[in-house]
Amino acid sequence: MNERKTYYSFHDIPFASKSSFNSSIQQSGIKFSKQEIVHILIAITVLTIAFSFAFAPYPPFSHFDAVITYIPISFIAIVTAFFCHEMAHKYVGQKFGYWSEFRMYTQGLLIALFLGIFVGIVFAAPGAVQIFGRPKKDEMGKISTAGPSTNLLLGLIFFVIWTLSDGMISSMSFYVSYINIFLALFNLLPFGPLDGLKIFIWRKEVWGLLIGLDLIILLMLLGLFP
């Protein structure tokens, strides 16, 4: 019997319930299980709360009105940066015929919530799309590229909106662009279980192009690039 190979799209973190997948069934097109939908909704809710507290002035409980104000900004940022990233991995994985589903990481979500509320920073390991099968080198590269590329595209779109708008829309666009670009940069690092290492092994020129574009947009967001 072939040994099952697991691909973690976001973080190489322990999941306790691998048996909940039926790895012998292949999928085509993007499909969701009920359990996956529940996990996605929980992860988005927890991360939205965590980022809303982290964005607010410290201590956040003394500025609860700011926390409420940041909820829609955090929600849009999480949906674009986290959800779209993971769904890009899922979509490409399923297009190749692999069983692909998101599973939340409860401990990581609790840590993110605690840090966001009480420390004012968010280190998020919310979960990942798990892809069961034996991806070829080019399939692995394309699956890995999908997530950071999606963040890069969304970061660029919201960067343009930021430069052309003002007020609340401008502030929201800046945060959403920054989070997407930063997440793309982090995932493009060619180390450990991150997407960057898989892309670098697959095609170094693709990795170089993605990280180069990402750095340019990040420097422009920070006002360090003309």
Looking at residue 60, its pLDDT comes to 74
Q: Which of 20, 218, 178, 171 is nearest to 103 (CA)?
A: 20
Digit-coded pLDDT (tens) for 91-149: 999 999 888 899 999 998 999 899 888 888 877 678 888 888 888 889 999 999 999 99
Boundaries of every domain in the chain = 5-14+22-221
In Å, how far are 20, 26, 128, 221 from 214, measured between CA atoms?
36, 34, 22, 11
Residue 29 — pLDDT band, cuts 50, 70, 90? Answer: low
User: Does residue 27 surpass a pLDDT of 60?
Assistant: no
Q: What's the pTM?
A: 0.81
Q: Which residues are catalytic?
A: 86
Q: Give mean pLDDT, residues 26-46.
A: 84
> What is the distance between the alpha carbons of residues 88 and 173, in angstroms, rounded to a whole number?
21
